[in-house]
């Protein structure tokens, strides 16, 4: 249905027929499938919002409002349609709708401020941006794209709103089950695949045994890599790999880094989105801190609502976590796309000789991708620095006022004593 014929005299956008066909299929599906969905009817506001789904700073909060709090259901269904996963893997539309509904319920179980269905939808959309806008999808098989989208959807399924450290320190049943290792990540995967065992939710029922094993293995590796305990080792391994001559990037490792970076990407989005996510995450941390106080446990980092420096913490998070992650991700994507037959974007030439200009454009296989996150990381860090200065001044003023109050009270006490 989706294959579009190309005129004989048209020049292909990519250097291989396979990539050209996939690009044609994808573009053809992009904005036509929503209104013709067999079972799931998309409200007009949802259709309008999803037209911006490829944007880096897509407003998932606006989509949540348009969908009456069901962003996963509509966003994921749309992506399954755009990538042709429904006909390719013979997924019954009613089964997909039921599965997404149950996933949404699982995300809302603990009423978390941050780790909820909006976060899952946001990470899924960001993953789509990485696949689509960089051209990474041309490096992947249909099954790998399926696994990547599905991993993003379920990567925090049934999140408890507390950290792995809290589970371990409190001795929760989940920590005991998974022996204190990647407690939440193991639960997300296990709970999601248990859900897929239900006949009315099993969107994997038509996969062959080999396809199922490959998809499951890839999802497990990707979701486990979202554990922050593996963050620095993950970056180090990829950085070292990219320094090698003729480096070959392992697909599971590459996709794991993509999902991990998408999971922590909100500081690299537009300020109003980043700030809103930050406040929601801090509220979730503070609720954990309140529990830790009640249980007599030491406060986890950023969980003490009375002593957390918000601006400083975000500056540190950008400098030491997000910025290095996005830099290595960019280098990895450009390396991968330089090794496949995807032409780098052409720029206007200033060469007088067209033949010379063409040769110079194509002499290097280095593929450059657009990096909208660079601008927002810089801008957001600047705003946080300004806020940090204001906060420091406010704390100093408060401290001075307290000292003056104490001095006045002491003076009164001395006066009373003398009398």
User: pLDDT tens digit string along 119-135?
Assistant: 999 999 999 999 999 99
Does residue 146 register a pLDDT over 60?
yes
Is 169 part of any domain? yes
Q: In the prediction, which pLDDT does 2 show?
A: 40
**The pLDDT of residue 246:** 87
- Report how many domains make up the chain: 1
Q: How far is CA 136 from CA 64, 117, 123, 140, 246, in A?
A: 27, 25, 16, 7, 19
Q: What is the DSSP string of 220-259?
A: HHHHHTTSGGGHHHHHHHHHHHHTSTT----HHHHHHHHH
Q: Residue 330's pLDDT is what? A: 98
The pLDDT value given to residue 398: 85
115 is in an annotated binding site: yes
pLDDT at residue 340 in the model: 86
Give how far Cα 120 sits from Cα of 11, 91, 194, Å: 39, 21, 18
Residue 345 located in a structural domain? no
pLDDT of amino acid 380:
98
Query: Could you tell me if residue 355 is inside a domain?
Result: no
Q: What is the dihedral of CA 114, 118, 121, 127, to 10 degrees?
A: -40
Contact 275, 364 (CB under 8 A): no
| pLDDT, position 20 | 56
Quick check: 8 pLDDT over 60?
no
Handedness of CA 306, 308, 311, 312 (dihedral sign): positive
User: Which residue, among 266, 256, 262, 197, has the nearest Cα to 230 in the 3D structure?
Assistant: 256
187 in a known ligand binding site: no
Handedness of CA 313, 317, 318, 320 (dihedral sign): positive
Q: Does 17 score more than 80 pLDDT?
A: no
Confirm or deny that 128 is annotated as ligand binding: no
Mean pLDDT score of the chain: 88
The answer to whether residue 128 is catalytic is: no
Determine the pLDDT at residue 19.
Answer: 61
| Pair 100, 71: CB distance under 8 Å | no
Q: Looking at residues 110-118, what average pLDDT do you find?
A: 98
Is residue 18 one of the residues assigned to a domain? no
156 annotated to a ligand binding site: yes
Q: Does residue 254 lie in a domain region? A: yes
Task: Indicate the pLDDT class of residue 407, thresholds 50, 70 and 90.
Answer: low
Examine residue 386 and state whether it is found in any structural domain, yes or no: yes
pLDDT tens digit sequence for 23-81: 555 655 554 444 444 568 999 999 999 999 999 999 999 999 999 999 999 999 999 99
Structure tokens at 346: 């052409």
342 — pLDDT class (breaks 50, 70, 90): low
Q: Domain range holding 266?
A: 23-340+371-408
pLDDT in tens, 169-195: 999 999 999 999 999 999 999 999 999
Q: Is the pLDDT of residue 21 over 60?
A: no
% pLDDT > 90, the chain:
77
**Residue 35 assigned as binding residue:** no
What's the pLDDT band for 400 if we cut at 50, 70, 90? confident
pTM of the complete model = 0.85
Residue 266 lies in a domain: yes
Find how far residue 16's CA is from the centre of its chain.
30
For the segment 246-288, what is each residue's pLDDT rounded down to a tens digit?
899 999 999 999 999 999 999 999 999 999 999 999 999 999 9
Q: What is the CATH number of the domain that holds 86?
A: 1.10.1300.10
Burial of 85 from C-beta contacts in 10 A (0-12 / 13-18 / 19+): buried
Instruction: Tell me whether residue 119 is annotated as binding.
Output: yes
In a domain, 110, yes or no: yes
Determine phi and psi for 306, rounding to 5 degrees.
-95, -10
* Catalytic pick among 19, 115, 187, 367: 115
């Amino acid at each position: 249905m989706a294959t579009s014929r190309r005129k004989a005299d048209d020049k292909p956008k990519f250097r291989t027929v396979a990539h050209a066909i996939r690009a044609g299929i994808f573009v053809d599906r992009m904005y036509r499938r929503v209104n013709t969905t067999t079972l799931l009817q998309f409200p007009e506001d949802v259709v309008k919002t999803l037209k911006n789904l490829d944007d880096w700073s897509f407003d998932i909060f606006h989509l949540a409002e348009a969908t009456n709090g069901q962003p996963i259901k509509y966003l994921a269904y749309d992506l399954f349609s755009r990538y042709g996963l429904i006909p390719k893997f013979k997924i019954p539309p009613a089964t997909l709708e039921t599965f997404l509904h149950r996933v949404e319920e699982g995300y809302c179980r603990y009423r978390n401020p941050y780790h909820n269905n909006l976060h899952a939808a946001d990470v899924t959309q960001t993953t789509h941006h990485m696949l689509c806008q960089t051209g990474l999808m041309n490096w992947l098989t249909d099954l790998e794209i399926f696994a990547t989208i599905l991993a993003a959807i379920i990567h925090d399924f049934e999140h408890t709103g507390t950290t792995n450290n809290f589970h371990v320190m409190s001795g929760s049943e989940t920590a005991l089950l998974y022996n204190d290792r990647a407690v939440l990540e193991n639960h997300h995967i296990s709970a999601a695949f248990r859900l897929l065992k239900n006949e009315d939710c099993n969107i994997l029922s038509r996969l062959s045994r080999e396809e199922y094993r490959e998809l499951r293995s890839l999802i497990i590796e990707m979701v486990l890599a979202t554990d922050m305990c593996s963050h620095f080792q993950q970056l180090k391994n990829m950085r070292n790999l990219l320094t090698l001559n003729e480096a070959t990037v392992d697909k599971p490792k590459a996709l794991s880094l993509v999902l991990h970076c998408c999971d922590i990407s909100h500081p690299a989005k537009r300020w109003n989105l980043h700030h809103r996510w930050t406040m929601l995450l801090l509220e979730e941390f503070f609720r954990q801190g309140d529990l830790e106080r009640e249980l007599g446990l030491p406060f986890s980092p950023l969980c003490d609502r009375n002593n957390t420096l918000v601006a400083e913490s975000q500056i540190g998070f950008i400098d030491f976590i997000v910025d290095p992650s996005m830099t290595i991700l960019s280098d990895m994507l450009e390396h991968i796309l330089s090794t496949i037959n995807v032409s780098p974007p052409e720029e206007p030439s200033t060469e007088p000789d067209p033949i010379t200009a063409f040769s110079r454009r194509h002499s290097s296989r280095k593929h450059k991708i657009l990096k909208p996150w660079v601008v927002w990381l810089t801008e957001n860090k600047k705003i946080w620095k300004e806020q940090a200065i204001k906060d420091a001044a406010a704390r100093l003023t408060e401290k001075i006022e307290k000292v003056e109050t104490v001095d006045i009270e002491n003076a009164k006490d001395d006066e009373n004593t003398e009398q």
